[in-house]
Amino acid sequence: MGDFEIKDKYTFIERFHIKRINLFWKIVDWLACKINYLAKIYDKTVGNEYRRERKNFVLSKAKKILHIGCGSYPITAMVLAELDNVDVVTIDNNSRAIKRANQVLKRKNLNGKIRAELGNGIKYPLDKFDTIIISGCSVPKIKVFERVLKDAKSNSNIILRSSIADAEGFIKNLNPPRGISIVKKMENHLFPYSKWGSFFIYKK
């Protein structure tokens, strides 16, 4: 990838931290699927952070969005589906998560606007999408990120979500190839132990 350099190995402590965060969100997603009251809280807390991201990054201009790493409760896709005239595809490499995600979409009558599919971010076709969002819980994130930067079509927008610590490491080691630029970034501080950053990247 030319001069593009990004950390490709984690220490034991870093791997433990990533697994702990991912487990936390898997549990939250699962509970939101099962308990309607918790789903409403999820929609108003995490959902509002994603709405803030949607506004700050002007995603209202997007026409076809791919979200990588939807989990069991596809809150990102549901927030994006609030936009007019946008086609949303959300994928996850866990078949059980996709089954639950489709149940949630059916319950909320969003099947026609959101398509949830079993898919691998390293292999899923990217050529139809003008906007690609990489979830903070997508695995393996570094390989997915590298692949998206390489294979996303020209004039596309890429949003990388990650914990603050991981994101700082990503960006610190990022030496973008020609045509890749970080346009904007924002931080989310929803919970004391669950802070993450969102980076808006443009591929010329």
List pLDDT tens digits, range 132-184.
Answer: 999 988 888 888 988 999 899 999 999 999 865 565 556 555 555 568 888 89
Dihedral sign computed on CA atoms, order 172, 155, 56, 192: negative
Structural domains in the chain, sorted by start: 12-203 (3.40.50.150)
Calculate what percentage of the chain has a pLDDT beyond 70: 80
Write out the two tokens for 13.
């402590």
Write out the two tokens for 152.
């996303």
Residues 6+ apart with CB under 8 A from 191: none
What is the C-alpha separation between 121 and 141, in angstroms, rounded? 9
**Which one has a higher pLDDT value, 95 or 3?**
95
Tell me the whole-structure pTM to 2 decimals: 0.88
Which residue, 145, 133, 204, is CA-closest to 171?
145
Q: What angle do the packed helices 12-34 and 164-172 form, to 10 degrees?
A: 130
pLDDT category at 3 given cuts 50, 70, 90 is very low
Q: Which burial class, exposed, middle or buried, applies to 182 when counting CB atoms under 10 A from its CB (0-12, 13-18, 19+)?
A: middle
List pLDDT tens digits, range 32-88.
Answer: 999 999 999 999 999 999 999 999 999 999 999 999 999 999 999 999 999 999 999
Average pLDDT over residues 112-121: 95
